[in-house]
Amino acid sequence: MISVLPVSGIVFLDKPLGWSSRQAVNEVMRLFSPPGKKRIKAGHGGTLDPLATGMLPILLGEATRYAELGLSADKSYRVTFDLSYQSDTLDREGEVTARFDQTISEAELQDILPQFCGEIDQTPPIYSAIRIDGKRAHEMARKGEAVEMKSRRVTIHQLQLLAFEFPLVTLEVHCSKGAYIRSLARDIGVTLHMGGCVTELRRLSTGGWPEALMVTIEQLHEQRQQCLLPLASWLRNLERTEISASEAKRFLQGQRIQLKSTCEDEDERDVAVFEGETLLGTGSMKAGLNHMVLHPGRLLPSAQEQYR
């Protein structure tokens, strides 16, 4: 009998407008789950608001073990916000809380943008998925409960003005994990003594993955297997380390592997471990007495089954 490998890999979904990230994950999970059988595991590499479209990495099967590579990655966005008003959610889906009659020039806008580049302190929106004492902040806010958000340090690597037609501002933003674009728009508006309500938001990239990899939900329905990238590609930023079949068996049993390379000028680092073209999992390379030693980290159950 031919064994069928479980589904594992990444889909770079172009999330539809109005969908929650959870809704998107559930739909992709349904599409890849065998009919009549238990649903496969699925998760995402970084939440997108329902208002936002764009890159939502969805991880399936064993790939869910590496979701943090998306959660911790830098991201790029294109955002349009309106300086003439603000809402309680900091986007056009909320209740208007203030309106502003004054106007500004493009030069005035350009003058203050450098303040928001580099490391900045930012307070997340109260309507966000951040947990406070185990509760989602947005759920507390919608119930009228007091929500106190703590400021956090984030990095805005690049901020480029793409268009300005008052009161609308369109920026491209390259930022670190944890940065909220709605908060950025709000803070720019506050600095100008105006609003800063997000009207359009699109994630262009997660971790430097190109826009061209994104697929629509319609494409997934029509050719889902062609839209699934292997887990190995998701681990592209980890150094590739190849070991023999006999070493693979020991590695997958949790044993350390002494490699032939010497310790000279070798730094400790995380690696993706392969036997031939088979991904076994990830580990860390550390200096031993005379040689580098491969320490097992996350091991893939499918590989353990194959090399049992």
DSSP per-residue codes, 168-213: EEEEEEEE-TT--HHHHHHHHHHHTTS--EEEEEEEEEETT--GGG
Rounded alpha-carbon distances, angstroms, from residue 92 to 15, 110, 127, 179: 18, 24, 13, 19
Q: Which of 14, 49, 82, 91 is catalytic?
A: 49
Does 91 participate in catalysis according to the annotation?
no
Rounded CA gap, 275 and 243, in Å? 5
Check: CB of residue 286 under 8 Å from CB of residue 268: yes
What are the residue ranges of helices labelled H in the chain? 21-32, 68-71, 106-112, 137-142, 181-191, 217-227, 231-234, 245-252, 301-306
Cβ proximity of 115 and 191 under 8 Å: yes
| Residues labelled catalytic | 49
